[in-house]
Amino acid sequence: MTVREFCTRDVVITNKGSSITEVAQLMRKYHVGDVVVVERRDEQNIPVGIITDRDIVVQLIARGMAPDAVTAGEVMSSELIVARENEGIWYTMQQMRGKGVRRIPVVNDDGGLEGILAVDDLVELLGQELTLLARVAAQGRAMERLQQE
């Protein structure tokens, strides 16, 4: 299973010059907890950072800073970890765990933004897989009962 199969393709983006108020408005409009900061290169959106709702609260509001006085480029997490769309889910989960990130932009071979993978996506996937495993055990018991009859 690759990241390409499970990432969310609709990614909310902005640029470094956007105010944090504009970023927060995007989060509200699209009901998301993150906005990927991109630069346009070779007709692709290249992710250069990410801003989460937590970043806004911890870095700005808790410090009493005015959201209109700060840009996305000043707040974004710039040590951006990305996943290549052909990487495996397991490898990507290990990367996320190792870096302590809940969301990871997904890029193509040229570094262009293709989607985003969040812990919530992985929890949903793993929940579905566990349900399938539970059904295997139940099916095995049912088959044994039929054989005993």
Helix (H/G/I), strand (E/B), else coil: 38: strand
CA-to-CA dists, residue 49 to 7, 53, 84, 124, 146, angstroms: 18, 14, 16, 25, 57
CA-to-CA dists, residue 5 to 12, 87, 114, 115, 121, angstroms: 19, 10, 11, 10, 11
Among 123, 128, 74, smallest CA distance to 102 is for 123
CA-to-CA dists, residue 77 to 20, 34, 68, angstroms: 13, 11, 18
pLDDT at residue 115, as a whole number: 97
Of 30-39, 84-93, 98-107, 135-144, the range with the lowest mean pLDDT is 135-144
- Under a CB-based contact definition with an 8 Å cutoff, are residues 34 and 105 in contact? no
Of 7-11, 41-45, 76-80, 137-141, the range with the lowest mean pLDDT is 137-141
- Under a CB-based contact definition with an 8 Å cutoff, are residues 27 and 35 in contact? yes
> Domains of the chain (ranges plus CATH)?
3-119 (3.10.580.10)
Angle at 130 between CA 124 and CA 134, to 5 degrees: 145
Q: What is the pLDDT of residues 24-40, one digit of tens each?
A: 999 999 999 999 999 99
- Under a CB-based contact definition with an 8 Å cutoff, are residues 23 and 72 in contact? yes
Q: Categorize the per-residue pLDDT at 86 as very low, low, confident or very high, splitting at 50, 70 and 90.
A: very high
Among 87, 16, 3, 6, smallest CA distance to 50 is for 16
The model's pTM: 0.82
Task: Count CB atoms within 10 A of the CB of residue 15.
Answer: 15
